[in-house]
Structure 1
Amino acid sequence: MSPDTALLARDLHTGPVEPGAPLIGSATGRALHVMSYNIRYHSTTTRPGDPDHWPDRAPLLRRLLALEQPTLLGVQEALFHQLGAVHRALPPGYGMVGYGRAGGSKGEYSPIFYDARRLELLEWDQFWLSDAPELIGSATWGNTVPRIVTWARFLDRGTGEDLVLINTHFDHDSETARERSAHVVVDLVHSFRPHTPTLVVGDFNADARSSAPYSTLVDSGVLVDTWETAEDRLTPPWGTFPDYGRAVRGEERIDWVLASPEVRVLQGAINPAGFDGRWPSDHTPVQALVVPAGG
């Protein structure tokens, strides 16, 4: 195999490093650009130059988000002081809902950022994935850390219709917790049916192809996987947890954008972008361009 052929073979199986243009970018018309992104919490044990060093990663995150400009962004693992980096990367006029899983500004957030020029916030809530969902910090399903759901209902000024976004981060260790969490999310989606198009984003810590949580969600009849239903897939099926390396085709998809069946999915993407050989997070963003009313 020649060097050029070897390079081509490599690039067919691993993601590109430098984005020359946004995969989806700012949405126009009736479409909404939805993104799920685990930005990886700020670890205090890293040093400059480490792949996980937040002060090095933050500028890369801002570059990626400024390029893509999602209308709706569900973030996972953000600590309070990391929220500013996300907010500053987005255009003026964005709002945010959510608070820390340990209460107030403490612990990891699963916040929702939204373009308030396009979307009017009508209501929102946050609860814990446990037997005591209103109890701050509760964890009763075998998970050793609290897990949360943040949801918001919006009026789309562009269409005059309501829509809901649900953002979550399932447990990394307990399969029981993940399965029970999936049932809770299905019940929550049912509560908005049949009149309100609903989107669910998150880090589910479970493979899209072979896990009980995924089956529970997509076999429920109220959700579909936008990667599977997209009219146009803009990228190969990269794995979504490359852990500060190049994304690899066919690896596990543990981050998803789901939608109620009436939502039209124009485009789907798994974004492997890095900058100068570095990556903003250990996860890739997952993106979808959708028309909630199906038009």
Structure 2
Amino acid sequence: MSIRLLTYNVRYATLDGDPNAWPERRDGVASLVRFHRPDVVCLQEVWETQLADLEARLPGYEWVSERTSSGEHTPVGYRADRLSVLDREVFSLSETPEDLHAMDWETTVPRVTTAARFRDAETGAAVVVASTHLDHDSERARREGAALLADRFGDRPPAVVAGDFNCTPDDRPYRTMTEAGFRDARAVADAPHGPETTFNDFEHPQEGKRIDHVFVSDDVDVGRFAVLADLDDRGLYPSDHFAVLADLELPP
């Protein structure tokens, strides 16, 4: 079973004015997803109005998501013509994962992970995919959050954990994932394409900021991998992060 996965931090709608206001960017975000046509898409920093905008612009995708008290979603979208959902879960990166509004480990907003186990309509193969967003400010929250993710999905292969980890390969949370048996899709791809960094700050690639990752269990093979520096029809970046794409081969 082969799937194309894309992860993308699309930037909160409420933070920016023109030219980076969400109404100026939403068509570009949706166009990028439509063009690259992932089977599964993991998004971060999606407010309620943003999810509605993207649902309207991405027909053919269904979504697994739940809103936190801060207004954020970390949704997982999937091509409904190909995949069906066997089960789903949404949990907070906290000491009480069942409480989606929990803020532990010095976070400033609830940090939530959305996961779904999909079955392929043609082959019957199944895979767990999780979309996550580690805290941008608290180092402790990133460490503890990565440990929770590694524990939660490390024994559920085949599994993919993707999103904005707010850490580089030199940082402890990244090592927590790899030491738990996950592989960095970029590191094992034959010929990674695109910038090394995944953050552009709406201006240009920011050196040393490879902070968005796709982690795969060791039974998942990686074909093509790319960091997508696509511009929208204005000639601007649709988000302050680049999307990350990986073509994955799953066990039967």
Band of TM-score, shorter chain: over 0.9
Cα pair distance change 1:261/1:44, threshold 3 Å: closer
Q: Deviations over 1:82-126 (max 9, x none)?
A: 113322343x43210111121xxx610000000121111010011
Q: Distance in 2 between matches of 1:44 and 1:167?
A: 22
Q: Distance in 2 between matches of 1:53 and 1:93?
A: 26
Q: Name the SS for the 1:233 alignment partner.
A: coil
Q: Does 1:256 align with 2:240?
A: no
Cα pair distance change 1:149/1:213, threshold 3 Å: same
Letter in 1 for 2:217: S
Aligned to 2:10: 39
Q: Does 1:117 align with 2:81?
A: yes
Unaligned runs of 5+ in 2: none
Cα pair distance change 1:45/1:33, threshold 3 Å: closer
Q: Distance in 2 between matches of 1:235 and 1:159?
A: 31
Q: Name the SS for the 2:13 alignment partner.
A: coil
Among residues 159, 168, 177, which one is paired with 1:198 in the alignment? 159
Offset of residue 44 of structure 1: 6.0
Q: Does 1:287 align with 2:235?
A: no
Aligned to 2:97: 133
Cα pair distance change 1:224/1:45, threshold 3 Å: closer
Aligned to 1:277: 235
Q: Distance in 2 between matches of 1:44 and 1:219?
A: 36
Unaligned runs of 5+ in 1: 1-29
Letter in 2 for 1:269: A
Q: Is the 8 A contact 2:106 2:141 kept in 1?
A: yes
Q: Is the 8 A contact 2:6 2:41 kept in 1?
A: yes
Q: Is the 8 A contact 1:165 1:198 kept in 2?
A: yes
Q: Is the 8 A contact 2:154 2:180 kept in 1?
A: no
Cα pair distance change 1:72/1:177, threshold 3 Å: same
Aligned to 2:178: 218
Q: Distance in 1 between matches of 2:153 and 2:248?
A: 18
Residues 1-295 of structure 1: pairs in structure 2 closer than 5 A: 30-43=1-14, 46=17, 50-90=18-58, 92-102=59-69, 107-192=71-156, 196-207=157-168, 209-221=169-181, 223-237=182-196, 239-247=197-205, 251-275=208-232, 276-293=234-251
Q: Distance in 1 between matches of 2:150 and 2:16?
A: 37
Offset of residue 225 of structure 1: 0.4
Q: Distance in 2 between matches of 1:173 and 1:218?
A: 22
Q: Distance in 1 between matches of 2:149 and 2:49?
A: 28
Q: Is the 8 A contact 1:264 1:292 kept in 2?
A: yes
Q: Name the SS for the 1:232 alignment partner.
A: coil
Q: Is the 8 A contact 1:76 1:202 kept in 2?
A: yes
Q: Distance in 2 between matches of 1:271 and 1:45?
A: 22
% identical equivalent positions: 35
TM-score normalised by length of structure 1: 0.81
Q: Distance in 1 between matches of 2:170 and 2:245?
A: 21
Which stretches of structure 1, 4 residues or longer, exceed 6 Å deviation after superposition?
none
Letter in 2 for 1:59: D
Q: Name the SS for the 2:43 alignment partner.
A: strand
Q: Distance in 2 between matches of 1:161 and 1:187?
A: 23
Q: Is the 8 A contact 2:195 2:205 kept in 1?
A: no
Q: Is the 8 A contact 2:107 2:135 kept in 1?
A: yes
Instruction: Name the structure where strand makes up a greater proportion of residues.
Output: 2
Q: Is the 8 A contact 1:246 1:272 kept in 2?
A: no
Cα pair distance change 1:236/1:243, threshold 3 Å: closer
How many residue pairs match? The answer is 251
